[in-house]
C-alpha cells in the first residue's frame, strides 16, 4: 500500500495528461472535507467543509481547510461541487467565496438552497448551478456525472469525474439503505455501469469501515421515536443535527399522530427546516408548527420541541437548557431524545449535557439505551459491495480517521485491488493518476485555519497552547523597573497572579530571589531588556516549578527609566 511519509517534499510539476488530487481536509479526521482535482492547469473542488473544535482548542468556533495551496490559482477553479449539505462538506464555502465570490457552486436543489441560506448571513450572493442524479455536466476539462446516493440528508450525490487521465468515482457520504424513508436509493446500477466502463480510481467514504455488516434501515427508527413520544407524560425535547430532514420528519409524523404541537428551537434548525419545507423535502401537517416563544401557553403533554445540541456544543440550545441558561427550562418528567450518533471526540461534552439534563429531572433517551439513530455512512458489508461493483484499478479511502482509512484499505485488498494500487493519503498529500496508476508524489501544506469570532486565521497553534496553559495553570505577571543605562533595578518587583493557585503572601518571600538575579546581571553589564525579561521569566519559573510543581504562564513586564 502506498502511504504518506513525514518527509515528503513538494510535488513535481504535473505531467501532461495526468490528473492530480490533493485533499485539503477530510483525511485522518471526521470533517473539513475538501478535495482539489487538477487537469491541464484547471481545478475542480469537491466539497468545502469545516471541522468542529475539540476541548483542547479553547475559544475556536470552527476549523477551516487551508486555502493557501489554491490561493494564487483561484482563477483556475472551474467550480466547487458540493456532494450534500452537511456542515463538514459545505461549512467553509462562505470563507472560500470571500476570496473569489463568483466561483460556481454545483449541487442538488436542497444542497444549494441550504448553502444559499447560509451565504445570506455572510452577505454573499452565490453563482450556482443545480444538478440532479443521472445528469452529466462539463466544467472545463472535467466531465462530471452525478449519481444518487442515500445519506442522512436528502439529495446527496456521488460523482464520476472523467478526464483523459481516466475515470474517478467519488462516492461522497453514502449508505445503502434499501428502505429509505424518502424512497431514494443509492444508484448501485450506476456504480456497476461505471465499473463495466472502467473506474481508474475509487474514492470512497470510510467512516464506518470498521463496522461489520450493513447499516440498519432508517425506517426502523420511526417506531422507537413514536414510542418515546406516545409514552412521555410531559414535554418531549428532541435534539438532532439541524440538517437531518429525515429524522425531523419522523418526529413530526409521530407528534401529529399523538396530538402534539412541534416547536423548532435554534436559528439553524428554523432556517434549515424552513428551506426543506419550502422545497417539499419536509412534509408538515397543517397547524402542527407553533412558535417556540409561545410554547409555555401549551400543556406540557401536548408539546414536542426540536432543537440543536446533540453533540454537546456549548452554545447550542440543549446545552444551554442543561445549564439553566435558556428560556426553555427543563422540568421534572420531561423527556429528552438525542436523535443522532456521537461524532468522535464529543463523548465527554455529550455526557456532561446528559448529566445536566438528568439533574433537573429529565429522562434522557439516547443511542446508548434505545435505537434512536442509524448511521448515514455505509458499513463494511456495503463498502465491499461497492468495491466489487466498481472493480477499481486504484483505490483511495477518504472521509475518516486513520483507523477508518486503513480498515477500508484492507477491505479493498480483500476484493482484489493490488496493494501497490491502494493509496492511503492524509491531508496535503499529493496523488497523481498517470497512465492508469495512482501514486503519491509529494505533499503541500494543509494545516488548520481557526475561526475565532470574526477573526479567520489569526489564531495559531502557539496561541492555542497559550490558552491551554492559561486555562490549566493560570498566569503570573512580574513588573520591574530598571535603569536603561546600568540595568539596575529601580522599582519592583511587583507580582500579580490569576488562576495559579499560589498564595500571594508566598511571593513576598520570593521577591529577594528576583532582586538578586537582576543584581547579578546588572553587575555583569547586562542592559538588554530582552535578556532581563528572560532572567525574570527563568527565575520565577524555576521557583514555581520547584515549590509547587506547576507551570503557569509567566509574563515579565520590564519598564525602562
Which residue did the predictor score with more confidence, 117 or 410?
Answer: 410
Mean pLDDT in the chain? 88
- Do 434 and 18 form a contact (C-beta atoms < 8 A)? yes
According to the model, what pLDDT value does residue 294 have?
A: 83
- Do 121 and 74 form a contact (C-beta atoms < 8 A)? no
Confidence of residue 4 (pLDDT cuts 50, 70, 90): low
Domains and CATH numbers, the chain: 19-214+376-452 (3.60.15.10), 218-365 (3.40.50.10710), 461-560 (3.10.20.580)
Name 475's Cβ contacts closer than 8 Å, sequence gap at least 6: 469, 497, 498, 499, 500, 552, 553, 554, 555
Q: Give the model confidence (pLDDT) of 337-392 as tens digits.
A: 988 766 666 677 778 888 888 998 889 888 777 777 788 899 999 999 999 999 99
Catalytic residue among 177, 205, 427, 432, which? Answer: 205
Identify the helix (H) or strand (E) that includes residue 201: strand 201-205
- Do 209 and 171 form a contact (C-beta atoms < 8 A)? no
Query: Which phi and psi angles does 260 have, rounded to 5°?
Result: -105, 150
Q: Which residues pair with 460 in a beta bridge?
A: none
Three cell numbers, residue 155: 439529495
CA torsion angle 101 106 110 115 (round to 10) = -20
Locate all alpha helices (DSSP H) within 336-416, ordered by sequence: 347-359, 380-390, 402-414
Does 137 participate in catalysis according to the annotation?
no
According to the model, what pLDDT value does residue 1 have?
A: 54
**String of b and e for 126-150 (b: at least 16 CB within 10 Å)?**
bebeebebeeeeebbbbebbbbbbb
Average pLDDT over residues 280-300: 88
- Do 190 and 299 form a contact (C-beta atoms < 8 A)? no
pLDDT at 5 over 70: no
Report percent pLDDT > 70 for the chain: 96
Identify the helix (H) or strand (E) that includes residue 274: helix 267-278
Locate all alpha helices (DSSP H) within 323-477, ordered by sequence: 347-359, 380-390, 402-414, 461-473
According to the model, what pLDDT value does residue 411 have?
A: 98
Average pLDDT over residues 315-334: 84
Residues in the annotated binding site for Ca(2+): 59, 61, 452
Of 225, 285, 249, 265, give the one whose Cα is nearest residue 153. 249
**Lowest mean pLDDT, pick from 8-22, 233-247, 468-482:** 468-482
Three cell numbers, residue 210: 470498521
How many Cβ atoms from other residues are within 10 Å of residue 75's Cβ? 8
Distance CA 273, CA 244 (A): 9
- Do 249 and 282 form a contact (C-beta atoms < 8 A)? yes
Q: Over 482-544, what HEC string results?
A: ECCCCCCEEEEEEEEEECCCCCHHHHHHHHHHHHHHHHHHHHCCCCCHHHHHHHHHHHHHHHH
Strands of 42-46's sheet in order across: 128-130, 105-107, 77-81, 42-46, 34-39, 19-25, 429-434, 437-443
Confidence of residue 182 (pLDDT cuts 50, 70, 90): confident
Distance CA 197, CA 476 (A): 67
Average pLDDT over residues 509-534: 81
Q: Which residue do the cell numbers 481557526 mark?
A: 450
Of 466, 352, 427, 445, give the one whose Cα is nearest residue 56. 466
Length of the chain: 561
Does 246 participate in catalysis according to the annotation?
no
Average pLDDT over residues 518-529: 79
Residues in the annotated binding site for substrate: 242-244, 373-377
Helices first, then strands: H and E counts in the chain: 15, 25
Q: Which of left, alpha, beta for 477 (phi over 0: left; psi -120 to 50: alpha)? A: beta
Rg (CA), the chain: 28
DSSP state string for 138-175: EETTEEEEEEE-B-SSTT-EEEEEEETTEEEEE--S-B
Catalytic residue among 170, 246, 366, 377, which? Answer: 377
Which residue did the predictor score with more confidence, 312 or 527?
Answer: 527
According to the model, what pLDDT value does residue 185 have?
A: 95
Of 409, 429, 361, 410, give the one whose Cα is nearest residue 9. 429
Query: Which phi and psi angles does 498 have, rounded to 5°?
Result: -135, 130
Identify the helix (H) or strand (E) that includes residue 257: helix 245-257
According to the model, what pLDDT value does residue 172 have?
A: 96
- Do 43 and 77 form a contact (C-beta atoms < 8 A)? yes
- Do 395 and 422 form a contact (C-beta atoms < 8 A)? yes
According to the model, what pLDDT value does residue 6 have?
A: 64
Average pLDDT over residues 170-192: 94
Of 443, 450, 482, give the one whose Cα is nearest residue 467. 450
Confidence of residue 462 (pLDDT cuts 50, 70, 90): confident
Q: Give the model confidence (pLDDT) of 355-370 as tens digits.
A: 888 998 889 888 777 7
Distance CA 275, CA 272 (A): 5
Q: Would you give the distance in Å from CA 251 to the centre of its chain?
A: 25
Q: Give the model confidence (pLDDT) of 115-131 as tens digits.
A: 998 899 889 999 999 99
Q: Give the model confidence (pLDDT) of 255-273 as tens digits.
A: 999 999 999 988 889 999 9
Which residue did the predictor score with more confidence, 308 or 135?
Answer: 135
According to the model, what pLDDT value does residue 315 have?
A: 63
pLDDT at 67 over 80: yes
For the ranges 33-42, 223-232, 235-244, the maximum mean pLDDT occurs at 33-42
Q: Give the model confidence (pLDDT) of 143-160 as tens digits.
A: 999 999 999 899 999 999
The pTM (predicted TM-score) of the whole model is 0.84
DSSP state string for 284-299: --TT-B--GGGGGGS-
Identify the helix (H) or strand (E) that includes residue 119: helix 109-121
Confidence of residue 499 (pLDDT cuts 50, 70, 90): confident
Amino acid at each position: 500500500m502506498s502511504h504518506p511519509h513525514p518527509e515528503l517534499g513538494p510535488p513535481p510539476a504535473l505531467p501532461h495528461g495526468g490528473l492530480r488530487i490533493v485533499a485539503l481536509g477530510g483525511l485522518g479526521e471526521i470533517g473539513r472535507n475538501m478535495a482539489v482535482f487538477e487537469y491541464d492547469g484547471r481545478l475542480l473542488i469537491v466539497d468545502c467543509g469545516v471541522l468542529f473544535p475539540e476541548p483542547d482548542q479553547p475559544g475556536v468556533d470552527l476549523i477551516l481547510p487551508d486555502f493557501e495551496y489554491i490561493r494564487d490559482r483561484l482563477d483556475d477553479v472551474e467550480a466547487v461541487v458540493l456532494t450534500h449539505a452537511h456542515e463538514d462538506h459545505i461549512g467553509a464555502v462562505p470563507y472560500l467565496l470571500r476570496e473569489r465570490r463568483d466561483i460556481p457552486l454545483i449541487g442538488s436543489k436542497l444542497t444549494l438552497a441550504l448553502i444559499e441560506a447560509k451565504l445570506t448571513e455572510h452577505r454573499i450572493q452565490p453563482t450556482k448551478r443545480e444538478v440532479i442524479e443521472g445528469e452529466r455536466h462539463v466544467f472545463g476539462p472535467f466531465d462530471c456525472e452525478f449519481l444518487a446516493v442515500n445519506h442522512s440528508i436528502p439529495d446527496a450525490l456521488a460523482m464520476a469525474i472523467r478526464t483523459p487521465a481516466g475515470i474517478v468515482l467519488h462516492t461522497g457520504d453514502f449508505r445503502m439503505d434499501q428502505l429509505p424513508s424518502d424512497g431514494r436509493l443509492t444508484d448501485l446500477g450506476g456504480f456497476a455501469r461505471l465499473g463495466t466502463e472502467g473506474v481508474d480510481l475509487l474514492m470512497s467514504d470510510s467512516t464506518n469501515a470498521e463496522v461489520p455488516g450493513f447499516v440498519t434501515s432508517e425506517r426502523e427508527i420511526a417506531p422507537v421515536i413514536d414510542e418515546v413520544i406516545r409514552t412521555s407524560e410531559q414535554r418531549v425535547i428532541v435534539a438532532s443535527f439541524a440538517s437531518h430532514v429525515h429524522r425531523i420528519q419522523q418526529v413530526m409524523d409521530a407528534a401529529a399522530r399523538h396530538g402534539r404541537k412541534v416547536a423548532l428551537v435554534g436559528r439553524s434548525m428554523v432556517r434549515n427546516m424552513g428551506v426543506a419545507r419550502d422545497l417539499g423535502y419536509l412534509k408538515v401537517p397543517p397547524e402542527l408548527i407553533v412558535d417556540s416563544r409561545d410554547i409555555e401557553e401549551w400543556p406540557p403533554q401536548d408539546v414536542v420541541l426540536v432543537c440543536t445540541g446533540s453533540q454537546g456544543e456549548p452554545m447550542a440550545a440543549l446545552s444551554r437548557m442543561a445549564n439553566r441558561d435558556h428560556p426553555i427550562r427543563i422540568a421534572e418528567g420531561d423527556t429528552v431524545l438525542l436523535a443522532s450518533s456521537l461524532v468522535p471526540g464529543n463523548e465527554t461534552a455529550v455526557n456532561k449535557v446528559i448529566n445536566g439534563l438528568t439533574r433537573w429531572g429529565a429522562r434522557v433517551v439516547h443511542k446508548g439505551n434505545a435505537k434512536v439513530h442509524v448511521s448515514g455512512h455505509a458499513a463494511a458489508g456495503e463498502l465491499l459491495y461497492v468495491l466489487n461493483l466498481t472493480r477499481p484499478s486504484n483505490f483511495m479511502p477518504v472521509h475518516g480517521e486513520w483507523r477508518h482509512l486503513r480498515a477500508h484499505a484492507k477491505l479493498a485488498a480483500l476484493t482484489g485491488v493490488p496493494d501497490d494500487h491502494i493509496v492511503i493519503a492524509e491531508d496535503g498529500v499529493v496523488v497523481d493518476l498517470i497512465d492508469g496508476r495512482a501514486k503519491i508524489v509529494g505533499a503541500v501544506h494543509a494545516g488548520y485555519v481557526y475561526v475565532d469570532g470574526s477573526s479567520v486565521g489569526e489564531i495559531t497553534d502557539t496561541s492555542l497552547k497559550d490558552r491551554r496553559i492559561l486555562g490549566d495553570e493560570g498566569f503570573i505577571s512580574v513588573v520591574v523597573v530598571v535603569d536603561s543605562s546600568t540595568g539596575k533595578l529601580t522599582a519592583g518587583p511587583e507580582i500579580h497572579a490569576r488562576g495559579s493557585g499560589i498564595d500571594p503572601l508566598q511571593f513576598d518571600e520570593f521577591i529577594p530571589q528576583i532582586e538578586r538575579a537582576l543584581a547579578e546581571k546588572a553587575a555583569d553589564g547586562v542592559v538588554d531588556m530582552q535578556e532581563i525579561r528572560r532572567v525574570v521569566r527563568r527565575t520565577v519559573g524555576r521557583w514555581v516549578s520547584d515549590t509547587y510543581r506547576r507551570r503557569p504562564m509567566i509574563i515579565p513586564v520590564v519598564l525602562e527609566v
